[in-house]
C-alpha cells in the first residue's frame, strides 16, 4: 500500500492561522508595552534620582544646607517623615523622590529664585535737530536701569537688556598731541582744527565740545637734555622751541571752536632725546583728571596724535624712577607735576582707567607706527587706529571715520563678580545675528538709532559666607549708563525663620525645632538632641543598638549614636539601609533578568513587594493568562496549566507556547483514516472491528469535495486525502466543536485510477523502435560520408606535396651520351 499523501494538516494552527497570528501579535505588543512602561519608569526614576543623588550626597543637616546642594533639592519638614534608622539628612532629596516617599507637597521646602525690576525707563527716541534740547542725564540708552535678582544656588536667573544708541547724543572730544620736534608741520594743520571739526560734528550731534592737550617726555635724563641751555630751548639752530614738559592741558573741553584755534595757535614745538614719547603719562592724566579736563557723562573721545612709539611701565628705571604710576590726578596749573616721581603706567593700568572713565581712544598715528598701535588697540577695548598723514592734513576725516567705527559696535562689560557668581550673555543683533559665549557680549554694524537686545544669565554656584547682598553693574564700554543689579542670595529656608529655640520637642529644650527636625545646641547630638557629646561612646548606649542575641552594632550597617542606629550611606545613593538596627535594605532582594524584584516590585527590608498581577520571590511570576491563551480560546489548548505566564504542558507529548505541537504524534488524517474508511466504505483494516473502535465521531457523507467544510469556521478543521486498500483516493475533513464532539465529512465516491489502454502503448513502442532504427541508419550513413570526405581530402593534400613530376622516374638514366668537339667551328 502506498504511503498516505496528506494534503493539509490544518489542526488548530492552520484552521485559524490569521486569528492566532492576530492574538500572538496582540500578546507581543502587550508584552512590549508592559516592558516599555517599566523601562520608562526605571529611566525616569534613574534621572530623577540622579539629581536626587546630589541632594543625598550633600549630607545636609539643615534645610539651608539642603537647598544649597542643588536647584532640584527639597527638604521635607513633615515631623514623622523619617523611618527608623534614617538620618536627618534623608529629609533632603529630589522633589519627586520626596513625594514618592510620602512627603506632601505643602511640607516640602523648595524656595525658588526670582527677579524684580526696580527702574525701567524706556530708551530715548530722539531725532537730530529736534526742538527740545535734553540734558545728557535725561537721555536713556539702556533698559532696565536697576533690578534685584534673588539667586538660589545652581538656578540661573535671566533678564533682557535693551540698548539703543540715541541720535543727537552729546560728544566730548579731547585732542592730545605729541609736540616733539618731528610734529612741527602737523601743529600748523591742527591750529585750525577747532572750527573745522565743529562744522563736521554738527552733522552728527548738536552738542559737541572740544579740548586740547600736548605732551613731550619726562623732564629727566636720559629722555631730555638737562643742560640749562637745552632746558630753555631743546631745539638746534635758529628754531624757537618751548621748554620740554611731560603733559600740559592747554584747553579744557569747550564748545567754542574759535577758542580752540586761538590757544592751539599759540603752542610751540618742543624736543627730546629718544624716539619713544611719554604719551602714556598724558593719557593717564586725561583719563583721571575729569574735573580739570571737563568731561561730562556723555560720549567721551580721546584723539591721541603722534608719529612715534611710547614708553610704558618699567622704562622709568632709565631715569631712576622706580615708583609705579599711582593712577591719580597730579595737575597743577594744567601741568603734570609728578612725571619725575612716578613711572609710566602699564597698558593694563591704562585699560582699567580708560574703562572706568568711559573714554574711547582714537590713535591717529603715521604709517610707520601703524602695526605697533594696532597691537595696542587689540589690548584696549573700544579703541580705534587711523593713519595720520605726514602733516596731519587728514585728521578731521580720520576722527569722523574712527568715531563711526567705534559707535557701530556695542560691547557689554560687567564689574567684578562676587565669589561663586557667574554670568553669561547672548546677543540678539541686527539682521537676526545671534551669538553666545564671549561674542554674546557684543553687537557690530549698528547704526545710530538701532536697537539691540541681550539676554543675560546670572548664576550663583555657592552662597557667600555671611550671606550678605552684593551689587554688580553692567554697562556698554565707552558709555556712562549702566544697569545696577542687586544680588540677594537664598541660603536659608523660610521655615528656619519659624524655628522654636529651646523647643521641648528637642529633648527638654536642647535644640531648636525647625523645618520638622531638631538643630541641636552646642554639645548636644542625636536626632532629638537627647545625648551630650560625652555619652556618645558609652557601652550602655551601644547595647540599645544591638539586636537580640547579636553582637553586631547596628547590623554592621550603621553607627550607634545616643542609643539609636544611624544607618550608613552607600556609594549608590539609590541603595538605602533602614530599620531600627539597620537590618533592612532595598537592594538585597531576589533578582530576575538582572533587575531587583524583576522590575515588577519594590524591595522592602530584603523582601519583594510585587506589583499587581505579579508574584514570586523576585516578582518574576506573572499572573496574566493572556500569553497562555491559544488561538481556539483555550488556555494552553486544554493540554496544560498556565504558570507565571507560560504554559506547563501536562501531556509530555505536547510542547510549544500553548502546547500546540506534538512531534511524535500521528497526523489527524493518518490517525482517523482507517475508521473513516470502514465507516464510509465498509472496507479497510478495521472493517471487522469498526463498530467497536470507530464510533467516536459523527460522520456525514457529501457528494463532492466542494461540499466539504472550508477553513474559516469556528471549530478547528483538518482537510485530508488518503488511499484505501484498493489504491483509491478518498477525501474527508475532521473537526472538533466547542463541546468536544468530533465531526467527519466524507466525499461519498472515492477517486479510483482507471486501467491502462494497451493498443496505444503497443503502437507507441513499435513506432519508437522503427524511428530509432531509421535514426541509427541515418547516423551511420552520415558518419561514412564524413569519413570518405576526410580520406579524399587527405589524398589530395599528399598529392600536392609531391617533389617530382608525375611523368618522370627519379631513378631513370638515359642510354644516349652526347659528346661535343670543342674545336668544331660549325664550318
Cell of 169: 547724543
- Looking at the predicted structure, is the pLDDT value of residue 797 above 90? no
756 falls in which pLDDT band (50, 70, 90)?
confident
Last residue of some domain: 722, 747, 772?
A: 747
Write out the H or E segment, with its range, that includes residue 65. helix 63-67
Q: How many CB atoms lie within 10 A of CB 796?
A: 9
190 domain-assigned: yes
42 domain-assigned: no
Whether the link from the prior residue into 341 is cis, omega within 30° of 0, is no
Residues 373 and 462 in one domain: no
The whole-angstrom separation of Cα 658 and Cα 12 is 11
Residues 63-101 pLDDT 10s: 988 999 989 999 999 888 887 777 888 889 888 888 888
CATH no. for residue 306? 3.40.50.410
Residues 417 and 399 in one domain: no
CATH no. for residue 743? 4.10.1240.30
Last residue of some domain: 691, 712, 747?
A: 747
Residues 401 and 330 in one domain: yes
**For residue 36, what pLDDT is reported?**
44
Q: Which of 145-149, 693-697, 716-720 has the highest mean pLDDT?
A: 145-149
Which CA distances in Å does 153 have to 5, 73, 149, 488, 659?
A: 82, 10, 12, 11, 62
Cell of 552: 553586631
773 domain-assigned: no
Q: Name the residue with cell 545675528.
A: 433
Q: Which residue has the higher pLDDT, 185 or 321?
A: 321
Picking from 490-494, 603-607, 749-753, 801-805, which range would have the lowest pLDDT averaged per residue? Answer: 801-805
CATH no. for residue 151? 2.60.40.1510
The whole-angstrom separation of Cα 690 and Cα 784 is 73
- Looking at the predicted structure, is the pLDDT value of residue 371 above 70? yes
Q: How many CB atoms lie within 10 A of CB 268?
A: 15
Yes or no: say if 413 and 371 are a contact pair by the CB < 8 Å rule. no
The whole-angstrom separation of Cα 329 and Cα 581 is 74
User: For the range 97-101, what are the long-range contacts, defined as Cβ-Cβ under 8 Å and sequence gap of 24 or more?
Assistant: 97/48, 97/49, 97/52, 98/74, 101/76
693 falls in which pLDDT band (50, 70, 90)?
confident
Q: Which residue has the higher pLDDT, 482 or 48?
A: 482
**For residue 186, what pLDDT is reported?**
77
Look at residues 194, 143, 62 and name the one whose alpha carbon lies nearest to residue 497. 62
The residues, any chain, with a CB within 8 Å of residue 620's CB and separated by 6 or more, are: 592, 593, 598, 600, 614, 644
Q: Which residues pair with 143 in a beta bridge?
A: 162
Sheet (strand 742-747) strand order: 697-702, 742-747, 729-736, 717-723
Strand, coil or helix: 157: strand
Average pLDDT over residues 261-267: 85
Q: How many CB atoms lie within 10 A of CB 584?
A: 22
**For residue 353, what pLDDT is reported?**
94
Residues 198 and 236 in one domain: yes
Give the HSE-up count for residue 137: Cα atoms under 13 Å, Cβ half-sphere. 1
Structural domain count of the chain:
5
Average pLDDT over residues 809-824: 76
- Looking at the predicted structure, is the pLDDT value of residue 358 above 50? yes
The whole-angstrom separation of Cα 195 and Cα 208 is 11
Yes or no: say if 267 and 249 are a contact pair by the CB < 8 Å rule. no
793 domain-assigned: no
**For residue 536, what pLDDT is reported?**
60
Yes or no: say if 74 and 40 are a contact pair by the CB < 8 Å rule. no
**For residue 826, what pLDDT is reported?**
60
Residues 430 and 473 in one domain: yes
Residues 284 and 151 in one domain: no
Residues 558 and 599 in one domain: no
The residues, any chain, with a CB within 8 Å of residue 388's CB and separated by 6 or more, are: 186, 305, 307, 364, 365, 366, 394, 395, 398
Q: Name the residue with cell 502587550.
A: 30
What is the domain extent for residue 720? 668-747
**For residue 337, what pLDDT is reported?**
92
**For residue 17, what pLDDT is reported?**
37
Yes or no: say if 147 and 235 are a contact pair by the CB < 8 Å rule. no
DSSP 247: E
Strand, coil or helix: 675: helix
- Looking at the predicted structure, is the pLDDT value of residue 193 above 60? yes
**For residue 23, what pLDDT is reported?**
35
**For residue 129, what pLDDT is reported?**
56
636 falls in which pLDDT band (50, 70, 90)?
confident
CA 49, 55, 57, 60 torsion-angle sign: negative
Average pLDDT over residues 407-428: 90
Q: Look at the pTM and tell me if it is higher than 0.85.
A: no
Yes or no: say if 204 and 167 are a contact pair by the CB < 8 Å rule. no
Find the DSSP H helices in 649-757: 668-681, 690-693
CATH no. for residue 577? 2.10.25.10
**For residue 127, what pLDDT is reported?**
63
The DSSP code sequence of 260-284 is HHHHHHT------SSSSB-HHHHHH
**For residue 13, what pLDDT is reported?**
34
Share of the chain above pLDDT 70, in %: 88
**For residue 334, what pLDDT is reported?**
92
Yes or no: say if 525 and 533 are a contact pair by the CB < 8 Å rule. yes
Sheet (strand 247-254) strand order: 331-332, 335-336, 247-254, 208-215, 171-178, 299-306, 359-365, 383-387
469 domain-assigned: yes
488 falls in which pLDDT band (50, 70, 90)?
very high
Look at residues 488, 538, 493 and name the one whose alpha carbon lies nearest to residue 519. 493
**For residue 734, what pLDDT is reported?**
83
**For residue 21, what pLDDT is reported?**
37
**For residue 566, what pLDDT is reported?**
82
Whether the link from the prior residue into 21 is cis, omega within 30° of 0, is no
- Looking at the predicted structure, is the pLDDT value of residue 757 above 70? yes
Picking from 97-106, 595-604, 797-806, which range would have the lowest pLDDT averaged per residue? Answer: 797-806
R_g of the chain, CA atoms, integer Å: 55
**For residue 254, what pLDDT is reported?**
92
- Looking at the predicted structure, is the pLDDT value of residue 157 above 90? yes
Q: Which residue has the higher pLDDT, 515 or 754?
A: 515
Q: Which of 195-209, 315-329, 497-511 has the highest mean pLDDT?
A: 315-329
Q: Which residue has the higher pLDDT, 108 or 667?
A: 108
- Looking at the predicted structure, is the pLDDT value of residue 680 above 60? yes
364 domain-assigned: yes
Average pLDDT over residues 236-250: 84
Picking from 195-209, 558-572, 792-806, which range would have the lowest pLDDT averaged per residue? Answer: 792-806
Residues 609 and 540 in one domain: no
**For residue 32, what pLDDT is reported?**
43
Residues 481 and 548 in one domain: no
Residues 341 and 430 in one domain: no
Average pLDDT of the chain? Answer: 82
- Looking at the predicted structure, is the pLDDT value of residue 802 above 70? no
Last residue of some domain: 407, 433, 468?
A: 407
Average pLDDT over residues 334-347: 93
64 domain-assigned: no
**For residue 197, what pLDDT is reported?**
85
Share of the chain above pLDDT 90, in %: 26
**For residue 809, what pLDDT is reported?**
65
Name the pairing type of β-strands 577-578 and 640-643. Answer: unpaired
Residues 187 and 175 in one domain: yes
797 domain-assigned: no
48 falls in which pLDDT band (50, 70, 90)?
very low
3-state secondary structure 287-351: HHCHHHHCCCCCEEEEEEEECCCECCCCHHHHHCCCECCCCCCCEECCEECCCCCECCCCHHHHH
Strand, coil or helix: 489: strand
Residues 28-41 pLDDT 10s: 443 444 444 444 44
Residues 566 and 700 in one domain: no
Amino acid at each position: 500500500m502506498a504511503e498516505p499523501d496528506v494534503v493539509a494538516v490544518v489542526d488548530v494552527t492552520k484552521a485559524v492561522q490569521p486569528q492566532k497570528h492576530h492574538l500572538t501579535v496582540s500578546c507581543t505588543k502587550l508584552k512590549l508595552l508592559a516592558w516599555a512602561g517599566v523601562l520608562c519608569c526605571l529611566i525616569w526614576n534613574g534621572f530623577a534620582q540622579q539629581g536626587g543623588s546630589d541632594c543625598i550626597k550633600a549630607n545636609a543637616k539643615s534645610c539651608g544646607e539642603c537647598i544649597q546642594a542643588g536647584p532640584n533639592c527639597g527638604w521635607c519638614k513633615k515631623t514623622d517623615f523619617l523611618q527608623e534608622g534614617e538620618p536627618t539628612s534623608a529629609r533632603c532629596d529630589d522633589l519627586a523622590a520626596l513625594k514618592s516617599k510620602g512627603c506632601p507637597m505643602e511640607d516640602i521646602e523648595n524656595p525658588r529664585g526670582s527677579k524684580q525690576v526696580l527702574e525701567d525707563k524706556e530708551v530715548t527716541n530722539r531725532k537730530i535737530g529736534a526742538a527740545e534740547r535734553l540734558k545728557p542725564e535725561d537721555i536713556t540708552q539702556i533698559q532696565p536701569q536697576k533690578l534685584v535678582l534673588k539667586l538660589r544656588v545652581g538656578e540661573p536667573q535671566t533678564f533682557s537688556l535693551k540698548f539703543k544708541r540715541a541720535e543727537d547724543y552729546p560728544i566730548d572730544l579731547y585732542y592730545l598731541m605729541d609736540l616733539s620736534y618731528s610734529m612741527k608741520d602737523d601743529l600748523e594743520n591742527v591750529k585750525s582744527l577747532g572750527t573745522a571739526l565743529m562744522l563736521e560734528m554738527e552733522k552728527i550731534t548738536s552738542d559737541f565740545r572740544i579740548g586740547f592737550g600736548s605732551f613731550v617726555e619726562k623732564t629727566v635724563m636720559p629722555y631730555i637734555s638737562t643742560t640749562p641751555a637745552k632746558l630753555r630751548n631743546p631745539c638746534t639752530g635758529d628754531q624757537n622751541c618751548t621748554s620740554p614738559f611731560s603733559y600740559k592741558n592747554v584747553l579744557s573741553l569747550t564748545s567754542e571752536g574759535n577758542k580752540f584755534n586761538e590757544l592751539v595757535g599759540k603752542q610751540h614745538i618742543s624736543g627730546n632725546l629718544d624716539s619713544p614719547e611719554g604719551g602714556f603719562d598724558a593719557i593717564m592724566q586725561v583719563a583721571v583728571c575729569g574735573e580739570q579736563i571737563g568731561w561730562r557723562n556723555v560720549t567721551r573721545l580721546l584723539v591721541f596724535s603722534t608719529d612715534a612709539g611710547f614708553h610704558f611701565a618699567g622704562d622709568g628705571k632709565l631715569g631712576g624712577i622706580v615708583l609705579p604710576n599711582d593712577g591719580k590726578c597730579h595737575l597743577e596749573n594744567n601741568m603734570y607735576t609728578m612725571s619725575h616721581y612716578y613711572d609710566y603706567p602699564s597698558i593694563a593700568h591704562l585699560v582699567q582707567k580708560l574703562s572706568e572713565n568711559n573714554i574711547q581712544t582714537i590713535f591717529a598715528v603715521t604709517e610707520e607706527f601703524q602695526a605697533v598701535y594696532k597691537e595696542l588697540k587689540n589690548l584696549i577695548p573700544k579703541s580705534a587706529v587711523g593713519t595720520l598723514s605726514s602733516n596731519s592734513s587728514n585728521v578731521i576725516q580720520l576722527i569722523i571715520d574712527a568715531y563711526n567705527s567705534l559707535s557701530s559696535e556695542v560691547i557689554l562689560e560687567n564689574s567684578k563678580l562676587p565669589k561663586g557668581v557667574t554670568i553669561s550673555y547672548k546677543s540678539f543683533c541686527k539682521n537676526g545675528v545671534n551669538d553666545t559665549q564671549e561674542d554674546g557680549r557684543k553687537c557690530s554694524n549698528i547704526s545710530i538709532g538701532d536697537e539691540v537686545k541681550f539676554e543675560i544669565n546670572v548664576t550663583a554656584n555657592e552662597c557667600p559666607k555671611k550671606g550678605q547682598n552684593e551689587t554688580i553693574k553692567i554697562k556698554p564700554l565707552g558709555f556712562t549708563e549702566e544697569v545696577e543689579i542687586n544680588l540677594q542670595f537664598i541660603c536659608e529656608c523660610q521655615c528656619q525663620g519659624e524655628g522654636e529655640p529651646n523647643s521641648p520637642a528637642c529633648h527638654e529644650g536642647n535644640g531648636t525645632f525647625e523645618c520638622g527636625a531638631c538643630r541641636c545646641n552646642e554639645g548636644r547630638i542625636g536626632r532629638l538632641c537627647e545625648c551630650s557629646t560625652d555619652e556618645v561612646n558609652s557601652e550602655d548606649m551601644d547595647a540599645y543598638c544591638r539586636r537580640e542575641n547579636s553582637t553586631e552594632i547596628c547590623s554592621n550597617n550603621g553607627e550607634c549614636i545616643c542609643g539609636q542606629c544611624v544607618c550608613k550611606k552607600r556609594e549608590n545613593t539609590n541603595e538605602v539601609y533602614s530599620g531600627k538596627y539597620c537590618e533592612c535594605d532595598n537592594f538585597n532582594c531576589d533578582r530576575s533578568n538582572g533587575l531587583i524584584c524583576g522590575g515588577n516590585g519594590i524591595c522592602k527590608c530584603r523582601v519583594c513587594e510585587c506589583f499587581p498581577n505579579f508574584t514570586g520571590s523576585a516578582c518574576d511570576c506573572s499572573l496574566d493568562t493572556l500569553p497562555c491563551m491559544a488561538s481556539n480560546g483555550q488556555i494552553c489548548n486544554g493540554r496544560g496549566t498556565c504558570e507565571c505566564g507560560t504554559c506547563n504542558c501536562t501531556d509530555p507529548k505536547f510542547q510549544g507556547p500553548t502546547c500546540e505541537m506534538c512531534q511524535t504524534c500521528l497526523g489527524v488524517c493518518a490517525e482517523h483514516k482507517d475508521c473513516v474508511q470502514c465507516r464510509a466504505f465498509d472496507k479497510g483494516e478495521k472493517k471487522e472491528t469498526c463498530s467497536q473502535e470507530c464510533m467516536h465521531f459523527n460522520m456525514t457523507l457529501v457528494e463532492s469535495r466542494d461540499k466539504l467544510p472550508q477553513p474559516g469556521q469556528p471549530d478547528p478543521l483538518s482537510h485530508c486525502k488518503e488511499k484505501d486498500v484498493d489504491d483509491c483516493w478518498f477525501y474527508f475533513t475532521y473537526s472538533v466543536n466547542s463541546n468536544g464532539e468530533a465531526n467527519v465529512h466524507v466525499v461519498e465516491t472515492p477517486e479510483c485510477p482507471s486501467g491502462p489502454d494497451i493498443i496505444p502503448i503497443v503502437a507507441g513502442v513499435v513506432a519508437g523502435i522503427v524511428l530509432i532504427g531509421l535514426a541509427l541508419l541515418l547516423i551511420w550513413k552520415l558518419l561514412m560520408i564524413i569519413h570518405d570526405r576526410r580520406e579524399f581530402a587527405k589524398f589530395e593534400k599528399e598529392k600536392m606535396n609531391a617533389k617530382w613530376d608525375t611523368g618522370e622516374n627519379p631513378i631513370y638514366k638515359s642510354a644516349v651520351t652526347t659528346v661535343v668537339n670543342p674545336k668544331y667551328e660549325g664550318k
